[in-house]
Amino acid sequence: MSTLKQIALSMLAIIACVAEVEASTRFYPTDPEFVVLKRSARRPVQTPSGAVTAPRDAASAARAAKELVERARREREPRFFGYAEALIEPWLQNASVAAPDLLILQADIQQNRHDFSSAIATLNRAIAVNPHDPRARLQRAAVLMVRGEFQAAHADCRALISNGELAVGSVCRAQAVGATGQADRGEETIRALLSAGHQFDSSTRAWALATLADLARRRGADPDAEPLLREALQLEPADDSIRCALADLLLDKGDHREVVRITSVERPSLALLVRTAIAQHRSKDPAFAQSSRSFLELIEIDRQRAERAHLREEALYALEVRGDSSTAARLARGNFKVQRESADIRLFARAACAAGDRTGTEELRQWLGRTGYRDRKVESILRATTI
């Protein structure tokens, strides 16, 4: 796989809706001291497909773990992230062999469970070893943008361009400047790249199209965004971030049947399940009961693990299905402290205003003022509130 393909896939993965476990019958320990597994650092890792032989060197560990991470995303099965982490953990403990490849994989696993602070710290280590590694630069830029640290991300985007990654670096920069009051400039950059005949691979083109769609939606041009998202999804049908973005647009449009069609995939993530449930709830679809039950079972697993990595989805369910704006506002505010993508910002605005949460709306207004982030939907919601 080319370096360009790898880093484009990294960017799509980071902005993706996090894959989830399927709602099958499992044993859930309630004792925090319960020992799930004792593992020797050099013994084979057992996966559903059989044992993965313990790697003999760091390079072999990185290759095997990378395959597991790719499989986790392809099959929407998060257990493979755990297997990948088990493979690389012994090598990461040895500073002399903690090469950038291993650190980048570790950061990928950390961001997947929404441990963004640790992911950035790990990527800082990788970049300190090799400042010109485009994968680490792009991955750090992506995590920084998820956190709403757009200026810091911009520096990594510029570094990508300086190091010869013109197309990827330019899309990265367009995202960063588009989030700091220069959305028009961001759109112009991406449109110019797409029309100039650059030889984008499918992942890079899908990412560019999805970014362009996000910028279009933020200026209130949903009709422009929809065909962009549909093309992006055709290019990368396994990418749940694109699938979720299209589902959100269709929910706003009121096309509930199409939302269900778009989100009905094998082993749907929590992010897809909640959108299915919302569409079915709005349209009084009898299948809502099963979708809702599956969603709540997975959320309960999340709570028992004390991970709470899916506050966005919990807040959406509380607001849209239960009509509990107070709970939704609390969850959306907690989510906003961790991640600040377009969906998170809009959700926080909607929930806080619905609940009459003056503290929350003021916090959001101040953040918008500091960053220069513009979104007509958010501005319209905030203008309509009397609090």
Per the model's pLDDT, the better-predicted residue between 227 and 54 turns out to be 227
| Percentage of the chain modeled with pLDDT above 70 | 82
Predicted confidence band of residue 386 (pLDDT cuts 50, 70, 90): low
Q: Is residue 21 pLDDT above 60, yes or no? A: no
Token pair belonging to 192? 């110019």
Asked if residue 272 lies in contact with residue 266, where contact means CB atoms within 8 angstroms, the answer is: no
Predicted confidence band of residue 343 (pLDDT cuts 50, 70, 90): very high
Q: How many CB atoms lie within 10 A of CB 313?
A: 28
Mean pLDDT of 302-330: 89
Q: Is residue 34 pLDDT above 80, yes or no? A: no
Mean pLDDT of 341-356: 97
The pLDDT score that the predictor gives to residue 307 is: 63
Chain segment 159-169, per-residue pLDDT in tens: 999 999 988 99
Buried b (16+ CB within 10 A) or exposed e, 34-48: eeeeeeeeeeebebe
Chain segment 43-72, per-residue pLDDT in tens: 455 555 554 556 778 888 888 888 998 888
Predicted confidence band of residue 7 (pLDDT cuts 50, 70, 90): low
For 50, the enclosing helix (H) or strand (E) is strand 50-52
Q: Which amino acid is at 340?
A: R
The pLDDT score that the predictor gives to residue 54 is: 63
Token pair belonging to 151? 């200026």
Dihedral Cα 214, 374, 145, 83, nearest 10 deg: -50
Predicted confidence band of residue 95 (pLDDT cuts 50, 70, 90): low
Q: Is residue 170 pLDDT above 70, yes or no? A: yes
| Percentage of the chain modeled with pLDDT above 90 | 63
CA 156/CA 163 separation, integer angstroms: 10
Q: Is residue 27 pLDDT above 90, yes or no? A: no
Token pair belonging to 323? 């009509």
Mean pLDDT of 250-258: 97
Among 68, 72, 79, 66, smallest CA distance to 26 is for 79
Where is mean pLDDT largest: 14-28, 29-43, 328-342?
328-342
Q: Which amino acid is at 286?
A: P
Chain segment 100-135, per-residue pLDDT in tens: 889 999 999 998 888 999 999 999 999 999 999 999
The pLDDT score that the predictor gives to residue 155 is: 95
In 3-state terms, what secondary structure has residue 361? helix
The pLDDT score that the predictor gives to residue 45 is: 56
Average pLDDT, the chain: 86
Mean pLDDT of 84-90: 87
Asked if residue 344 lies in contact with residue 149, where contact means CB atoms within 8 angstroms, the answer is: no
For 70, the enclosing helix (H) or strand (E) is helix 58-74
Mean pLDDT of 343-353: 97
Q: Is residue 349 pLDDT above 70, yes or no? A: yes
All structural domains of the chain with their residue ranges: 310-387
Mean pLDDT of 336-354: 96
Instruction: Give the number of C-alpha atoms closer than 13 A to the C-alpha of residue 158, restricted to the C-beta side.
Output: 7
Q: Is residue 250 pLDDT above 50, yes or no? A: yes
- Tell me which long-range contacts 280-288 makes (C-beta under 8 A, separation of at least 24): 280/256, 281/320, 281/321, 282/251, 282/256, 282/320, 283/256, 283/257, 285/256, 285/260, 287/260
Per the model's pLDDT, the better-predicted residue between 9 and 369 turns out to be 369
The pLDDT score that the predictor gives to residue 44 is: 55
Per the model's pLDDT, the better-predicted residue between 94 and 189 turns out to be 189
Asked if residue 299 lies in contact with residue 313, where contact means CB atoms within 8 angstroms, the answer is: yes
Q: What pTM did the predictor assign?
A: 0.83
CA 273/CA 294 separation, integer angstroms: 8
The pLDDT score that the predictor gives to residue 32 is: 47
Q: Is residue 35 pLDDT above 50, yes or no? A: no
Predicted confidence band of residue 251 (pLDDT cuts 50, 70, 90): very high
The pLDDT score that the predictor gives to residue 103 is: 92
